[in-house]
Structure 1
């Protein structure tokens, strides 16, 4: 079949010419022409016209997905450029207002999901892009050339992502793609060279750590934790500043969020060296002592579990003379007052463990707590007595 590939042909004409029907030398040109035709974005103002255009575009996208999946062609630089152009025009778009969520969490939980009218085609564009970049038939030299061109834009990309995060954290607290951005950035961080550049550390301090602040952190916490852990893996000294940031944004009145923080904290401590742990252990275990006493049984239970981690346990045992006096009052309060049996059992286990390892330290903490309780009782009694004497003194004076 003879084919004279010209972009001037109508979409309907091109839809009747299939990639499977033309010779191999013509496939590349037809592939590019179909990509260019898919760059047309429909106007939703005319539903009837839009429906016909969307159906035609859907048909071409399906054919392009099948063609790329077959692995039968090698794509040159022109094909890559056409693919990038088509994906950019279709995917980088403004969300229509009626499809944007008004919830502060960036997710609509109680309503039916609402999709862009062209979502079926957008889904195919995403699929086509994924299959294209995963394609083994990409010319290696071409891929290297494209990567070389992209490298110079990496600082711009990082700055753009940082600005999106700043706007989300400090202004709107509303964005539908934070989890996806963090997932992409996780892969980028894992490729950072060591020692880390100062600009990369600044991204951690100024963008990633403040992302723990918004209420919607539950939506992207898994991806955020992965990014943070990647940084610490590259530079263990960053553990101190990360834990400090967690303590700064600790959700005192939000128990589900507190559970996420404790879980992330455990992952970070698993990678923390003794030298870094010593510098942060006092404020850290003051916070953990509050968690141990939490009336939310899941928070209290989760706060007991880091002791089961061998590395964290060793960190605690080497510094038990500092740490145990900080948490002992919380353990004692739990023993006498906590309502949940699972928490009581965990508290009892930790106390027994410390008794077996260092009974002298436990007895010393017990004596100190009794002295403090005695002083508190005396102070309370004095205030009570003063409260009774004050009205009498006023009466005499009158």
Structure 2
């Protein structure tokens, strides 16, 4: 029959019915004086274990007794049955009657956290320092490393900054020590050690993600509201760094790791991407990418799980904070796809990636989304047609900011496609671009007109100039004369001049079509005016007191420019281009746009570039500045001071 007394020279016998890390005592624990001197020559002094043996314990864990020393019995102020903490970091090991399994995550919050009554005492086991003294054997270092990893599973309450300060500092020191260890020493390929590491990481990072609401209970808006930062980030960051170093270490073994980094682990990791803390999302992005690269069997599952998040975001709630980071991961994954692309990758593009363009919060992740679409086109140029047609299908009607984003993406796509792919979609594409040229929003108009500053797009336009000029020229002319923004008028004139100097015969044909179109519009306006006048006269004769004034539609028709005035203005612009082309280096104040006359060279207003515009490049003869190339950042085209 075992005795309750423990010999210091022999380890305690393990109890198979008790957790190996649980100590419970029915008697009040008292410290025992160590009979052995504290010698610096003894390696066990640096790698000492947790505490002196307690007097007459009821159940004792299988910890070597010669490693147990220096435990002080202290009281918590709220109860005489609890011990308190003085220094170093401690771990809580409650023994609860009637519970066969113990929680894997412990906390030093009040006992109500684990629904414990005050009848169950705690013993706090002090953690020794992780000394990396070369005098100690590798086995001792690894042994203490395992203890440190086990102690780091403790969760500390960060709801109050002024509580558990010593424990917070102790755990932080322990995390820094194990990070330093894993960067210097080889991690053995041991299943129990891998399980312990993944268990510690899981207990720290997997939690319920807290969210906040905006004003009046509205959902959190990342563009308007400040993110809710994770209060436990000082510890959480170190846990993530430790896990990342573990994945990147040369001794990492895929076969052992995939037993514990399972599909459930991946799903829980993806849920953490919904955290409002951008710091956590960024490091999660790196960790998930490392897992994707290290564990090959999980690659397909990771892609499928990310697809599910995208589909849920598009078709259900349109809220997930980590869409940007997941798209960055997918961009890296797409970049590694082999050519020719598999059918599943094309299905992902058409059914998952492209529908992300219609979500309302697209502004937060559009650059990453555009990068993914361009990567697909670089892998297989034939995909440019379904991508461009999908963009035209999802094209925004009233959101100007979103329309500018779509124009940006269209330009990126046109930069990587050839003439053969361009000619498949150029008519539908430039019909949409022509509408954007005469958009009432000046940023949309300027962004659409900027296509004529891209050398590769100019080359594509020349390949289908006969159709593109017929589609675009009329809208360019209207933007040149009728747009309210002066900068847009200047840019539209530059594009008008480009078409005029490209092909004389084709330009004359388009001008005739414009004149005929305005004649038809004028005739239609006169016909509508006559119909409305007859309606007004008939109504006024029957109800003279109610219809004494003309309807507003007649005023609108009266304000439509006459055909003669439109043709005169068109001829004036053409004459100005001809005159400018005959003397391109002479600045003239006789601009076709009367509102741009008499601009002083010292004025803060931009000089109209169509007065010195040559072949999609700019010059400034007033101030004797050298010509600028279309891609120069100091080009006047980028000057939005008057917008």
So what's the TM-score if we normalise by structure 2? 0.55
Contact 1:19 1:67 in 2 (8 A): no
For residue 446 of structure 2, what is the aligned residue in structure 1? 301
Q: Which residue of 2 aligns with 1:20?
A: 132
Larger deviation, residues 261-270 vs 48-57:
48-57
One of 275, 280, 293 as aligned partner of 2:420: 275
TM-superposed CA distance for 1:294, in Å, is 1.9
CA distance in 2, matches of 1:56, 1:224: 43
**2:295 aligned counterpart, secondary structure:** helix
Q: CA deviation at 1:330?
A: 1.1
| Other-structure match for 1:265 | 410
Q: Are 1:86 and 2:200 counterparts? A: yes
Q: By how many angstroms is 1:177 displaced? A: 0.8
Moved more, 311-320 or 125-134: 125-134
The answer to whether the Cα contact below 8 Å between 2:407 and 2:448 also exists between their aligned partners in 1 is yes
- Secondary structure of 1:216's aligned partner: helix
State the number of aligned residues: 392
Higher helix share: 1
2:379 maps to which of 223, 226, 234 = 234
The equivalent of 1:73 in structure 2 is 185
Which position in structure 1 is the counterpart of 2:224?
109
Shift of 1:145: 7.2
Matched, 1:125 2:270: no
- What CA distance in whole angstroms lies between the structure 2 residues aligned with 1:359 and 1:120? 69
Task: Tell me, yes or no, if the aligned pair for 2:175 and 2:238 is still in contact at 8 Å.
Answer: yes
Q: Structure 1's 372 and 182: CA in aligned 2 closer, same or farther, altered over 3 A?
A: same
Residues in 1 aligned to 2:468 and 2:530: alpha-carbon distance in whole angstroms: 37
Report what 1:386 is aligned to. Answer: 531
Partner Cα distance (2:392, 2:219) in 1: 23
CA distance in 2: counterparts of 1:358 and 1:379, whole angstroms? 31
Stretch of structure 1 that moved more, 238-247 or 387-396: 387-396
Match of 1:213 in 2: 358
Equivalent residue of 1:77, what SS?
Answer: coil
Determine if contact 2:153/2:203 at 8 Å carries over to the other structure.
yes
1:109 is paired with a residue whose SS is coil
Q: 1:350 to 1:77 in 2, by over 3 A?
A: farther
Alpha carbons 1:14, 1:34 under 8 Å: kept: no
Which residue number in structure 1 is paired with residue 86 of structure 2?
A: none
Partner of 1:184: 329
| 8 Å Cα contact 2:213-2:220 kept in structure 1 | no
CA distance in 1, matches of 2:542, 2:214: 70
Distance change in 2, residues 1:77/1:212 (3 Å): farther
Q: 1:245 aligns with which of 375, 379, 390?
A: 390
> Are 2:214 and 2:225, in contact at CA under 8 Å, matched by a contact in 1?
no
Between 1:378-387 and 1:94-103, the stretch displaced more is 94-103
Residue number in structure 2 paired with 1:338: 483
**Hey, what's the Cα distance between the residues in 2 that align with 1:216 and 1:394?**
50
Q: Which residue of 1 aligns with 2:176?
A: 62
Bigger shift: 306-315 or 197-206?
Answer: 306-315
Larger RCO (CA within 8 A; separation ≥ 6) = 1
2:62, 2:412 → 1: CA distance?
58
Q: Residues 132 and 313 (structure 1 numbering): CA distance in 2 closer, same or farther, change over 3 Å?
A: farther
Bigger mean CA offset, 324-333 vs 248-257: 248-257
Alignment of structure 1 residues 360-379 onto 2, 5 Å: 360-379=505-524
Match of 2:209 among 95, 98, 107: 95
| Equivalent residue, structure 1, for 2:301 | 156
Instruction: Name the CA distance, whole Å, in 2 between partners of 1:330 and 1:23.
Output: 81
Larger deviation, residues 369-378 vs 290-299? 290-299
Q: Which whole-Å CA distance do the structure 2 matches of 1:8 and 1:310 have between them?
A: 76
Asked whether the 8 Å contact 1:179–1:220 carries over to 2, the reply is yes
Where structure 2 has 5 or more consecutive residues not aligned to the other structure, the ranges are 1-42, 51-60, 64-89, 92-123, 258-290, 544-643
Among residues 369, 380, 405, which one is paired with 1:224 in the alignment?
369
Q: How well do the aligned residues superpose, as a CA RMSD in angstroms?
A: 3.2
Deviation of 1:39 after TM superposition, in Å, equals 3.1
- With over 3 angstroms needed to count, the CA separation of the structure-2 counterparts of 1:4 and 1:151, relative to structure 1, is farther
Kindly indicate whether residue 311 of structure 2 is the aligned counterpart of residue 166 of structure 1. Answer: yes
CA contact (8 A) 1:5 1:33 kept: no
* Residue 121 of structure 2: aligned partner: none
CA contact (8 A) 2:335 2:375 kept: yes
Cα distance in 2 between the residues matched to 1:167 and 1:64: 39
- CA–CA distance in structure 2, aligned partners of residues 128 and 343 of structure 1: 54
2: distance between equivalents of 1:233 and 1:105?
A: 36
Name whichever of 245-254 and 282-291 sits farther off: 245-254
- What displacement does 1:210 show? 1.3
Question: In the aligned structure 1, how far is the partner of 2:165 from the partner of 2:391?
Answer: 50
Larger mean CA deviation between 143-152 and 73-82 belongs to 143-152
Counterparts in 2 of 1:158 and 1:369: CA distance versus 1, 3 Å: same
- Cα deviations by residue, 1:165-217 (Å, 9 ceiling, x for unpaired): 11111111111111111111221111111111111111111221111122211
Please list every run of 5 or more consecutive structure 1 residues that lacks an aligned counterpart in the other structure. Answer: none
Does the 8 Å contact 1:293/1:300 carry over to 2?
yes
CA distance in 2, matches of 1:5, 1:206: 58
Task: Choose from 473, 498, 501 the match for 1:328.
Answer: 473
**Residues 99 and 334 of structure 1: CA distance in aligned 2, closer, same or farther (over 3 Å):** closer
More displaced stretch, 2-11 vs 55-64: 2-11
Q: Which segment is superposed worse, 384-393 or 178-187?
A: 384-393
